[in-house]
């Protein structure tokens, strides 16, 4: 910085203001500093800045789904939310096993991240929630995909029940009366809420909730394939004409299983997903699904984290869902 100041003919404090962007600088002085920085190919030492400011300019991101297109879309939103700032994400890979998830969180803390974005930590182990509550006392924390008691104002959520209800109601309105459902992993909160929305839509339309037409999946393509194999074994007794899959990845697997069985979509069985992932509109046929704004959830979560780090109050909305009607549902 001293060398840049000398070559640009300005004070070192002016160079600091240009680099940090935290105070106005006269246009001619800023231009002189930027010209020298560009000529010298200067890059600030982030580690050294961290020692000076007590920050690492890293935001930890905990996920269990590194290969998931859902997470990829959310991470894209997070990166956009940090764009133009000094912050960048550091990924920690968790697991359904609490010991491994705790290890991933501990790794992020050991790296002295300034805050942590936790993606969908829903689970049956209360120790998970207790640990997050303790963590939030010392580390800025945003939780995406679950509502943690005591951290409600720091949670990003969607109306999963309403989404399951809308998906099932859409099928009923198209004339389907026997509708199967491949759930997500139980007892994860998203899975429960979407299943409950499915059940309530059937009840409200005076249709029977048939346990044999519900099969547990895990939000993966393979669980969609396996779910269809199970459901087709029930079809002689319960001749269902539609499937509501708990997410688009499950719907993709279900579509493949139906293709192998030479069952046409939507002529023989209609199919509805949940998420509206980027590839859903390119399925054959294009998938009717419930759109949740995954990209914007990541974007808003990252922006909220930056506000927390700046000492500002945050207000996280509950994101609405939208039915996207395409060609995978037929009228009965």
Confidence of residue 315 (pLDDT cuts 50, 70, 90): confident
User: Rounded distance, CA 230 to CA 18, Å?
Assistant: 63
Residue among 139, 169, 166, 159 at smallest CA distance from 151? 139
Contact between residue 139 and residue 116 where contact means Cβ atoms under 8 Å apart: yes
Residue 84 CB contacts under 8 Å (≥ 6 apart), including other chains:
none
The pLDDT mean for the chain works out to 89
**Structure confidence by residue, pLDDT tens digits, 49-62:** 555 556 889 999 99
Q: Which residue segments constitute the domains of the chain, with CATH numbers given? A: 2-44 (1.10.260.40), 52-158+294-320 (3.40.50.2300), 160-292 (3.40.50.2300)
User: Rounded distance, CA 20 to CA 269, Å?
Assistant: 58
| Count of residues in the chain | 332
**Structure confidence by residue, pLDDT tens digits, 110-137:** 889 999 999 865 444 444 778 888 899 9
CA distances to 13, 15, 17, 32, 328 from 23, in Å: 10, 11, 6, 16, 55
CA distances to 14, 55, 57, 76, 317 from 112, in Å: 29, 8, 9, 23, 28
| pLDDT, greater one: 41 or 231 | 231
Percentage of the chain modeled with pLDDT above 90: 59
pLDDT at 129: 79
* Backbone dihedral angles phi then psi of residue 178, each to the nearest 5 degrees: -115, 105
Determine whether 278 is exposed, middle or buried from the number of CB atoms within 10 Å of its CB (0-12, 13-18, 19+): middle
| pLDDT, greater one: 324 or 84 | 324
pLDDT at 12: 84
**Structure confidence by residue, pLDDT tens digits, 32-79:** 988 988 888 887 665 555 555 568 899 999 987 777 788 889 999 999
């Amino acid at each position: 910085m001293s060398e840049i100041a000398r070559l640009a003919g300005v004070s070192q404090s002016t160079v600091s203001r240009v680099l940090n962007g935290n105070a106005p600088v006269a246009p001619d002085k800023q231009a002189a500093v930027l010209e020298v920085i560009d000529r010298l190919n200067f890059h600030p030492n982030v580690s050294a800045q961290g020692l000076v400011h007590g920050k690492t300019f890293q935001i930890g991101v905990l996920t269990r789904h590194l290969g998931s297109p859902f997470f990829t879309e959310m991470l894209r939103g997070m990166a956009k939310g940090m764009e133009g700032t000094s912050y960048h994400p550091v990924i920690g890979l968790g697991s359904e096993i609490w010991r491994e998830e705790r290890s991933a969180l501990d790794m992020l803390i050991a790296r002295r991240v300034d805050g942590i974005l936790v993606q969908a930590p829903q689970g049956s182990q209360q120790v998970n929630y207790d640990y997050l509550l303790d963590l939030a006392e010392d580390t800025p924390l945003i939780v995406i995909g679950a509502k943690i008691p005591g951290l409600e104002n720091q949670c990003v959520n969607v109306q999963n029940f309403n989404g399951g209800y809308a998906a099932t109601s859409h099928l009923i309105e198209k004339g389907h009366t026997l509708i199967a459902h491949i759930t997500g992993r139980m007892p994860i909160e998203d899975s429960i809420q979407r299943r409950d929305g499915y059940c309530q839509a059937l009840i409200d339309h005076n249709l029977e909730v048939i346990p044999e037409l519900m099969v547990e999946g895990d939000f993966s393509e393979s669980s969609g394939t396996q779910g269809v194999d199970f459901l087709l074994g029930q079809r002689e007794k319960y001749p269902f004409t539609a499937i509501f899959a708990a997410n688009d990845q499950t719907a993709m697997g279900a579509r493949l299983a139906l293709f192998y069985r030479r069952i046409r979509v939507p002529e023989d069985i209609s199919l509805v997903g949940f998420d509206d992932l980027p590839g859903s509109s390119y399925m054959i046929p294009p998938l009717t699904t419930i759109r949740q704004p995954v990209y914007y959830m990541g974007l808003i979560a990252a922006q909220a984290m930056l506000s927390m780090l700046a000492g500002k109050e945050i207000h996280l909305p509950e994101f609405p869902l939208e039915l996207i009607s395409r060609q995978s549902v037929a009228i009965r």
